[in-house]
């Protein structure tokens, strides 16, 4: 039984599985590389291209090319292309389908059962949209797990005999997370996490793009602005990414900016690049410090390892700054591939445990034998526990008599252990109130706030109140957040038994719409 782990990244994605000696292995795509650019080019209404070719076409046809779609996951936005509106989940589905199809071609086995990773700081909306992207692609999404957990699984398997407390600093192409994880007796426990899902390597690239354009404007003041031309802008983004990568090993790199029939040769030194992006790195250090403070409040103050994950951690300034600030030598943990490998390990282990729970011991043992696992490894997998925490706070809108205004009452708080379940009674405001609105809110900013404007409404519903009830009639509300970070809300009026069940369904796609989308997109050729 083949299962797969997918790192669905902002700028690059990859897929991994377990080989015949039990090791996680990243499967190369048809272009022969480990990672696939998370770029989608809509050639026409019937043909979609994903990956390196799509990235090349971003320069030639930017209006029909989509990148950085991960930053829109969970949002009710669409891209209108060739007469159709595509949601972020649908566009992400094309990327997942490309990975699964290439894996099938490489291994001969259909990639169907998958675990997909998301940034630790993704909320319920983004996680739900990621799961639906997998369903639209025709995949069975076993679970959604956080990228730092996947990296920790890879670390734990490579260091099976060592109990460790590790700080995972995960700077990817479009997101940043920092997470404290304890490895104890083969078990994995997330102590706390923090981050920013709109901060990543793409922002370092954007600073370089601005710098290159500014230097061109100074050299050719009579030419038009290169950033006003979509093709030139896309080319500058390619050049900026190449320059960033070059500056990981070189101290200077020259970019030829060509626009409006003019050329400007711009030398970028590593020192200048670090000056341009210092505030971005400062932001990651600030978030890391906040994470360490939260961990200290939970009694964790000593660390054995600082593990760097994500391709953007290859920038020399990252390791140097972290070692200076934290005092631990950073360890690059296979930064581009560790997350996909950890997801593959988790997919394998979770499937093995599920088969044992369901009484299918023979299938479980066949799976373990094919992977070459020893009896001790099987015992460890069967008993391994993974504990994680909520990435955001969740609550409901209530009326505050003291201020005369609405506020958010949070039932689940950021860094509460998962699964989390909390029940609270709330009360009607008026006599003879016929119904109570249940408005589910998720923390939007970096810190918890009772102000409605600092939260996003992610679900809503109504509970009926029996006739003739005085103000203050109770409605019982329960929030249940599962280990994947997906939220279920119930509200019950106890006398009548009227019950509201809300499965958080953000992004405008119900399960029926997912099926319709899957059927429609299955007619489009993806390569």
Give the whole-angstrom CA distance, residue 424 versus residue 12.
42
Contact yes or no for 27/16 (Cβ under 8 A) = yes
Beta bridge partners of 145: 117
Among candidates 46, 92, 102, 45, which has minimal Cα distance to 72?
Answer: 92
Q: Does 118 score more than 60 pLDDT?
A: yes
| Residue 314 region by backbone torsions, left for phi larger than 0, else alpha for psi between -120 and 50, else beta | alpha
The torsion of the CA quartet 487, 440, 72, 31, rounded to 10 degrees, works out to 10
Contact yes or no for 486/504 (Cβ under 8 A) = yes
* 3-class SS of residue 419: coil
80 against 20, higher pLDDT = 80
156 against 505, higher pLDDT = 156
Residues 6+ apart with CB under 8 A from 419: 480, 481, 482, 483
Q: Does 503 score more than 80 pLDDT?
A: no
Give the whole-angstrom CA distance, residue 141 versus residue 117.
11
Question: Which of 170-174, 195-199, 419-423 is predicted with the least confidence, judged by mean pLDDT?
Answer: 195-199
Mean pLDDT of 438-455: 91
CATH 2.60.34.10 domain extents, the chain = 394-506
Residue 127 has phi, psi (to 5 degrees) of -65, -40
Q: Does 227 score more than 80 pLDDT?
A: yes
| 40, containing H or E segment | strand 40-44
CATH 3.30.420.40 domain extents, the chain = 3-199+287-389
Which CATH number does the domain 394-506 belong to among 3.40.50.1820, 3.90.1150.10, 3.40.50.620, 2.60.34.10? 2.60.34.10
What is the percent of the chain with per-residue pLDDT over 90, rounded to a whole number?
69
Answering whether pTM is above 0.85, one says yes
Q: In this predicted structure, what is the pLDDT of residue 364?
A: 87
Q: Does 509 score more than 80 pLDDT?
A: no
* pLDDT, the chain, mean: 91
**Sign of the C-alpha dihedral computed for residues 44, 133, 510 and 455 taken in this order:** negative
Q: In this predicted structure, what is the pLDDT of residue 491?
A: 95
- Reduce the secondary structure of 424-469 to three states and give it as a string: EEEECCCCCCCEEEEEEEEECCCCCCCCHHHEEEEEEEEEECCCCC
Q: In this predicted structure, what is the pLDDT of residue 507?
A: 46
Question: Which of 35-39, 75-79, 83-87 is predicted with the least confidence, judged by mean pLDDT?
Answer: 75-79
Residue 497 has phi, psi (to 5 degrees) of 80, 5
Mean pLDDT of 223-251: 94
Contact yes or no for 95/50 (Cβ under 8 A) = yes
Beta bridge partners of 421: 480
Mean pLDDT of 262-288: 97
Q: Does 506 score more than 70 pLDDT?
A: no
Burial 239-274 (b: 16+ CB within 10 A, else e): bbbebbebbeeeeebebebebeeeebebebebeebb
Query: CA gyration radius for the chain?
Result: 24
Q: In this predicted structure, what is the pLDDT of residue 445?
A: 80
Contact yes or no for 141/134 (Cβ under 8 A) = yes
Give residue-wise pLDDT tens across range 307-361. Answer: 999 999 999 999 999 999 999 899 887 889 999 999 999 999 889 888 888 999 8
Contact yes or no for 424/389 (Cβ under 8 A) = no
User: Which residue has tokens 């360490």?
Assistant: 292
Mean pLDDT of 171-200: 91
Contact yes or no for 415/390 (Cβ under 8 A) = yes
CATH assignment, 3-199+287-389: 3.30.420.40
Q: Does 113 score more than 90 pLDDT?
A: yes
pLDDT category at 1 given cuts 50, 70, 90 is low
- Whether domain 201-278 has CATH 3.30.70.260: the reply is no
Q: Does 158 score more than 80 pLDDT?
A: no
Q: In this predicted structure, what is the pLDDT of residue 301?
A: 95
Among candidates 40, 63, 65, which has minimal Cα distance to 51?
Answer: 40
Q: Which of 36-45, 363-372, 380-389 has the highest mean pLDDT?
A: 36-45
Mutual orientation of helices 230-246 and 201-219 as an angle, nearest 10°?
A: 120
Q: Does 505 score more than 60 pLDDT?
A: no
Contact yes or no for 509/135 (Cβ under 8 A) = no
């Amino acid at each position: 039984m083949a299962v797969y782990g997918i790192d669905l990244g902002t700028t690059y994605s990859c897929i991994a599985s377990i080989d015949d000696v039990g090791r996680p292995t990243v499967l190369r795509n048809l272009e022969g590389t480990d990672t696939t650019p998370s770029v989608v080019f809509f050639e026409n209404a019937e043909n979609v291209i994903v990956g390196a070719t799509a990235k090349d076409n971003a320069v030639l046809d930017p209006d029909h090319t989509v990148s950085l779609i991960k930053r829109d996951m969970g949002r009710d936005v669409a891209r209108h292309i060739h007469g159709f509106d595509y949601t972020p989940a649908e566009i992400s589905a094309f990327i997942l389908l490309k990975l699964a199809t290439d894996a099938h071609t490489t291994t001969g086995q259909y990639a169907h059962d998958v675990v997909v990773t998301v940034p630790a700081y993704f909320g319920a909306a983004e996680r739900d949209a990621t799961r639906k992207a997998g369903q639209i692609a025709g995949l069975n999404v076993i679970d959604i797990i956080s990228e730092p957990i996947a990296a920790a699984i890879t670390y734990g398997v490579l260091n099976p005999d060592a109990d460790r407390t590790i700080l995972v600093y995960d700077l990817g192409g479009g997101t940043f997370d920092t997470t404290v994880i304890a490895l104890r007796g083969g078990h994995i426990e997330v102590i706390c996490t923090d981050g920013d899902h709109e901060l990543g390597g793409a922002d370092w690239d954007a600073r370089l793009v601005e710098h290159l354009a500014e230097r061109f404007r100074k050299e050719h003041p009579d030419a038009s602005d290169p950033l006003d031309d979509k093709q030139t802008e896309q080319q500058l983004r390619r050049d900026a990414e190449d320059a960033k990568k070059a500056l990981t090993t070189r101290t200077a790199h020259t970019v030829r900016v060509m626009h409006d029939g003019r050329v400007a040769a711009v030398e970028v030194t590593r020192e200048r690049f670090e000056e341009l992006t210092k505030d971005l790195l400062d932001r990651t250090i600030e978030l890391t410090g906040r994470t360490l403070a939260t961990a200290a409040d939970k009694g964790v103050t000593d660390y054995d390892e600082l593990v760097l994950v994500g391709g953007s951690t290859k920038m020399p300034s990252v390791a140097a700054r972290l070692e200076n600030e934290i005092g631990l030598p950073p360890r690059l943990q296979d930064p581009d591939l560790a997350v996909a490998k950890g997801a593959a390990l988790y997919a394998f282990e979770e499937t093995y445990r599920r088969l044992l729970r369901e009484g299918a011991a023979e299938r479980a043992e066949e799976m373990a034998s094919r992977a070459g696992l020893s009896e001790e490894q099987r015992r460890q997998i069967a008993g391994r526990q993974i504990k994680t925490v909520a990435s955001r706070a969740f609550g409901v809108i209530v009326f505050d008599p003291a201020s005369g205004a609405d506020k958010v009452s949070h039932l689940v708080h950021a860094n509460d252990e998962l699964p989390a379940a909390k029940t609270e009674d709330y009360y009607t405001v008026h006599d003879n109130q016929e119904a109570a609105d249940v408005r589910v809110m998720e923390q939007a900013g970096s810190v918890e706030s009772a102000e409605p404007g600092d939260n996003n409404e992610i679900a809503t519903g109504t509970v009926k109140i029996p006739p003739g009830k005085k103000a203050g009639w109770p409605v019982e509300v329960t929030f249940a957040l599962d280990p994947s970070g997906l939220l279920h809300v119930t509200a019950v009026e106890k006398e009548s038994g009227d019950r509201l069940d809300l499965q958080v369904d953000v992004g405008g796609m119900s399960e029926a719409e997912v099926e319709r989308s899957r059927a429609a997109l299955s007619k489009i050729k993806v390569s």
